């Protein structure tokens, strides 16, 4: 399997990377990265620079950050936030608080190192603080490595770089280490969700070694609202990757990946796209759409995607259900395939490529409505599975697929526009059900057989499904709130 064209973790001078943001993006473009996340630790200061550089180099950028978090005995876990509103004042305030805790921790570790006999140059540390940049263990370690008074001892102990000094002194259980106090993993997830983002646990096996402990943590964080796991990672073995991929599939979590790029001269993280899928498929969900933030939590928005042959009754059933829900006080909109083609897809034909473009555009609009609390009915033939699956990945739990089933013969009998007749006469090319295939949904949330039940009965079943889904989500949100 070829290397993926995405890389969802990279770092710049705004945290512990070696390069300015523009150089990070330029190197990603040169390496063939098409979707990139600049995920500096506890800051979003480089995101606007990344977006500008991405536009210049043709790389889609998803706004991101990597939040350091704690969870009981695990004192340095990382939660990635993708698709966040990086201009959110609340998010920036929370990240500043996290950086302040990092500074407190860095000062405490500097004191410990000095008690251990090391000289620590305060100038670069204070310069980062003054610039509002996070201070982490790599910067503290470099301040020790660069001080001439430490040269002889460092040679004796074999420390030529940050990569050897940190494991010897600045990790849990080592004499210079000081633990973080907050945020917890659950708090980090909440920060990301409040900023309309997707929360992903970064490199699980980098921080926890035992497989059973990792899986237990995945289960626990999933219950707390985690959206995905960084399954594919430069240091993950095949066994670890497959273990994570399987558990994420069971729990319905996203499966992301990265090379954790820090710069071309970094000992471990120096090359983009340097991670292996080991034969498994990633699932990026809404992250795949670059700057589009994830669906907002809360509210009562859903996308009810009605798919089926032309004449199966999609629009009729959808409009009846939409009217009933509107009468019950819900905010409802209807995106009918014919209306959409006339207003936002005019000029598209009926080739496979044009049909897929049509579905992507409908999904974009439906997502905007649904994540703003609107129950949105889509009535579109949408004959191919992949675009429908892409729409599901974009919207996650807000997407509900409904197969409106009727035979070609029945649809042809109902055809007041004469489309089937024209298609059979060769006047319409690539007509679904006649000269082009319809790929039925494999696991729709609901099937409506409009040959065996009336449109009113089908609509009643649809309304029942919508209200049940909304009730489930409301209950889940109450439980998450405590």
3-class SS letters over 439-473 = CCCCCCCEEEECCCCCHHHHHHHHHHHHHHHHHHH
Q: Give the integer Cα–Cα distance in Å for 186 and 81.
A: 13
Judging by DSSP bridges, how do beta strands 74-82 and 64-71 pair with one another? Answer: antiparallel
Domain architecture of the chain: domains with CATH: 6-289 (3.20.20.140), 302-480 (3.40.50.300)
Strands (E), 107-243: 198-201, 228-233
Tell me what the mean pLDDT of segment 298-308 comes to. Answer: 86
User: According to the model, what pLDDT value does residue 132 have?
Assistant: 66
Confidence of residue 115 (pLDDT cuts 50, 70, 90): very high
Task: Give the rounded distance of the alpha carbon of 381 from its chain centre.
Answer: 28
User: Which pLDDT belongs to residue 302?
Assistant: 94
120-160 pLDDT, tens digit per residue, is 988 888 888 777 677 778 888 999 999 999 999 999 999 98
The mean pLDDT of 85-104, rounded to a whole number, is 88
pLDDT tens-place string over residues 359-403:
999 999 998 899 888 999 999 999 999 999 989 888 888 899 999
Give CA separation, 328 vs 445, 457, 474, in Å: 22, 17, 17
Mean pLDDT value across residues 207-215: 94
Task: Please state the rounded mean pLDDT for residues 451-474.
Answer: 93
Q: What is the pTM of this model?
A: 0.69
To the query of whether residue 443 is one of the catalytic residues in this protein, the response is no
Looking at residue 344, what is its pLDDT? 78
Confidence of residue 163 (pLDDT cuts 50, 70, 90): confident
C-alpha pair distances (Å), 87 with each of 46, 62, 307: 11, 13, 37
What average pLDDT is seen over the chain? Answer: 90
Considering 382, 407, 435, 458, which one is annotated as catalytic? Answer: 382
The pLDDT of residue 291 is 52
Gap between the Cα atoms of 365 and 95, Å rounded: 31
Q: Which two tokens stand for residue 42?
A: 């506890």
């Amino acid at each position: 399997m070829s290397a993926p064209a995405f890389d969802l973790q990279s770092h710049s001078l705004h945290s512990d990377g070696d390069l300015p943001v523009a150089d990070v993006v330029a190197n990603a473009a040169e390496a063939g990265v098409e979707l990139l996340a600049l995920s500096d630790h506890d800051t979003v200061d480089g995101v606007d620079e990344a977006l500008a550089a991405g536009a210049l180099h043709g790389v889609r950028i998803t706004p991101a950050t990597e939040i350091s978090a704690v969870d009981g005995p695990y004192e340095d876990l990382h939660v990635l936030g993708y698709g966040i509103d990086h201009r959110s004042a609340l998010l920036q305030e929370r990240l500043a608080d996290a950086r302040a805790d990092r500074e407190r921790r860095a000062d405490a570790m500097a004191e410990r190192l000095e008690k251990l006999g090391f000289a620590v140059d305060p100038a670069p540390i204070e310069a980062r603080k003054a610039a509002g940049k996070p201070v982490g263990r790599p910067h503290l370690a470099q301040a020790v490595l660069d001080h001439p008074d430490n040269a002889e001892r460092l040679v004796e102990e074999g420390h030529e770089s940050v990569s050897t000094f940190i494991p010897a002194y600045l990790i849990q259980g080592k004499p210079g280490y000081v633990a973080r106090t907050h945020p917890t993993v659950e708090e980090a997830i909440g920060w990301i969700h409040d900023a309309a983002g997707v929360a992903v646990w970064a490199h699980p096996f980098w921080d926890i070694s035992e497989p059973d402990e990792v899986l237990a943590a995945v289960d626990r964080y999933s219950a707390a609202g985690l959206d995905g796991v960084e399954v594919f990672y430069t240091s993950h073995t095949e066994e670890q990757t497959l273990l994570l991929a399987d558990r994420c599939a069971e729990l319905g979590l996203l499966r992301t990946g990265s090379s954790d790029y820090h710069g071309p001269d970094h000992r471990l993280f120096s090359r983009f796209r340097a991670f292996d899928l080991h034969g498994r498929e990633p699932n990026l969900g809404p992250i795949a759409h670059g700057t589009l933030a994830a669906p907002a939590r809360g509210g009562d928005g859903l996308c009810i995607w009605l798919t089926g042959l032309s004449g199966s009754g999609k629009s009729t059933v959808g409009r009846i259900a939409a009217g009933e829900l509107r009468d019950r006080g819900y905010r409802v909109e209807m995106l009918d395939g014919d209306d959409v083609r006339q207003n936002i897809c005019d000029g598209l034909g009926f080739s496979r490529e044009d049909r897929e473009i049509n579905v992507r555009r409908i999904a974009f609009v439906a997502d905007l409505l649904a994540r703003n609390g609107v129950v949105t009915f889509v009535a579109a033939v949408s004959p191919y599975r992949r675009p429908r699956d892409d729409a599901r990945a974009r919207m996650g739990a807000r997407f509900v697929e409904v197969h409106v089933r009727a035979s070609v013969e029945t649809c042809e009998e109902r055809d007041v526009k004469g489309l089937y007749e024209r298609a059979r006469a060769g006047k319409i090319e690539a007509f679904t059900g006649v000269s082009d295939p319809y790929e039925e949904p494999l696991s729709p949330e609901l099937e409506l057989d409009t040959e065996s039940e009336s449109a009113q009965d089908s609509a009643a079943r649809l309304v029942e499904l919508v209200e049940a889904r909304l009730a489930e989500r409301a209950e889940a949100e109450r439980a998450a709130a405590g």
